[in-house]
Amino acid sequence: MTTPQTIRVGVIMAGGSGERFWPLSRRLRPKQLLCLTSPDRTLLAEAVSRVAPVVPPKDIYIVTGRHLVDPIREAGTGVPPENVIAEPCKRNTSGALAYAAACMMARYDAAPQNITMAITTADHEIGDAERFQQTVAAALDVVERGGVLATLGVAPTRAETGYGYIQIAEDARSVSEGDVAIYPVTAFHEKPNREVAEGFVSSGRYFWNSGMFFWRISDFLDELDRVRPALAMAVRDMAEAAKEGDELGVHKIFEKLEDISIDYALMEHARRVVMARAEFPWDDIGAWPALNRTMARDSRGNAGRGEPVLIDCDNCIVYNEPGSGKVAVGVVGCEDLIVVVTSDGVLVAPKDRAQDVRLVVAELKARGTGQV
C-alpha cells in the first residue's frame, strides 16, 4: 500500500485598498503592485519568486480582493491566472485563510492531512532569499510530521511598537533536526507600548510576528474545531460547495464569517504552535517611513527616487515617480519629511504622521475625485 504524497501549496496574501502609499498606490494598484524595494520588480513579484524554489508556481495561489484579480493577473508574476483567487468580501486574515483552505480542499484530490499550506505575504522585504527558503522548508518539514501549526518569528532589531510579538520559553530548545531553529511558542502578544517593547527586545525571548504561517489543513481544522468550531465548519462547507461548483453557496457561507485576524481567532489559542526563527534581513513595508530602511540613503539620511534635488535636507523621503526628465522636484531645508510626486498627485507629510495618509484618501473619496 503506497503512502499518499503530501502536496505543498503556497498562499500569498495580497489584499489591500491602496491607502498607505498614496499617491503612488491606488485602489487598483495597492502597494504589492508597486516597486518599493526594487526599481524594477513589484513587491508581489518578489514574493512569488522567493516562494517558487520551495513550492512550484503551479501550486502557488494569490488570495486577494475581487477588484484586484485582473490587475494581479496582468502583473506577470508567473502564477497561473486561475491561481489568483478572490475572497467574496473582506473578512480579515482569518477569513482569507479559511477561504484559501477551502479552495485547496476543493481543488486537490487529496485528504486534508496531505495538503500543507505555506502562507506568506506580499508586502515584506526579505534580504536573503536562500535562507528564507531554507527556513520555509524547515517549517514545512516540522508541520508535516503532524500535530503542530508553525509561524515565523523575526529577532527584533529595535523596540518596535507597531508589530505583534511571539514569546518562547527561556530554556527553549529547537525541535528541528536541521540548522533552522524552531521553538515551541509560549504566547503571542499584541502591539506593545514603548516600555514593554524595550523589555521584549532586551529579554531575547520575544520575536516579531511576521504574519507567515505553515500547517497541514487537517491540523488547521483540528485547532479550529476546538477554538472556533463555527469557522471550522464553514471551511468544510465552503470546500464542499466549491467541489459542486456552487459559487453562490460559497459566498453565502463566507459572508457570515466573523471579521477577525487569524492571530485573534486561532494562533493565540492554539495548543501546539512552533516558531521558526528567521535568520535573514526582514522588514514589513507598511508605510512610507519603511523606505528609510529599504532604500539607499545619502550622507544625510535622505532616501530619494527619481533624482529629486535636495538642499540642506536631513532624513527625508522624496519619491518622484515621473522622474526628473518629466517633473523636477526640489526640497530645501527640510527634516524628517515625506514628499511624493506622481503624475496626478502630491503628498507632503512629516514622517511621524505617515499613518494619516489614509485621511487624505478618505477626504478625496468623499469629494468624489478620481485620484484614489
Residue ranges per domain, the chain?
A: 7-284, 288-367
CB 221 within 8 A of CB 230: no
Say if residues 191 and 300 touch (Cβ distance below 8 Å). no
Q: Is the pLDDT of residue 65 over 50?
A: yes
User: Cα torsion at 180, 184, 190, 193 (round to 10°)?
Assistant: -70
Q: Indicate whether 116 pLDDT > 80.
A: yes
* Cα 231 from Cα 61, distance rounded (Å): 21
Quick one: pLDDT band at residue 3, thresholds 50, 70, 90?
low
- All cell numbers assigned to 353: 504622521
Average confidence (pLDDT) over 36-44: 90
pLDDT at 146: 81
pLDDT digits (tens, 9 = 90+) for 160-216: 999 999 999 999 999 988 899 999 999 999 999 999 999 999 999 999 999 999 999
- Asked whether residue 18 carries a pLDDT value surpassing 90, the answer given is no
Residue 98 contacts residue 234 (beta carbons within 8 Å):
yes
For 247-253, what is the mean pLDDT? 97
pLDDT at 1 over 50: no
Mean pLDDT of 70-89: 96
Percent of the chain with pLDDT over 70: 99
Mean pLDDT of 112-120: 98
Residue 204 grid cell: 531575547
Q: What is the mean pLDDT of residues 282-295?
A: 92
Q: Provide mean pLDDT across the span 345-350.
A: 98
pLDDT in tens, 223-244: 999 999 999 999 999 999 999 9
333: pLDDT strictly greater than 90: yes
Query: Is residue 38 scored above 90 in pLDDT?
Result: no
Tell me if 352 sits within 8 A of 336, measured CB to CB: yes
Above 60 in pLDDT, residue 349? yes
Chain centroid offset of residue 292 CA: 19
- The answer, yes or no, to whether residue 2 has pLDDT greater than 70, is no
| Residue 125 pLDDT > 70 | yes
Arithmetic mean of pLDDT, 142-168: 95
d(CA 280, CA 127): 6
DSSP secondary structure letter of residue 3: P
> Do 85 and 62 touch, CB atoms closer than 8 A?
yes
Q: What is the DSSP letter of 330?
A: E
Task: Tally helices (H) and strands (E) across the chain.
Answer: 11, 17
User: What percent of the chain has a predicted confidence (pLDDT) above 90?
Assistant: 93
Identify the CA nearest to 347 among candidates 370, 365, 329. Answer: 329
Report the run of H or E that residue 258 belongs to, with start and end. none
Q: What is the mean pLDDT of residues 352-370?
A: 95
CATH 3.40.50.410 matches 7-284: no
Mean pLDDT, the chain, rounded, equals: 95
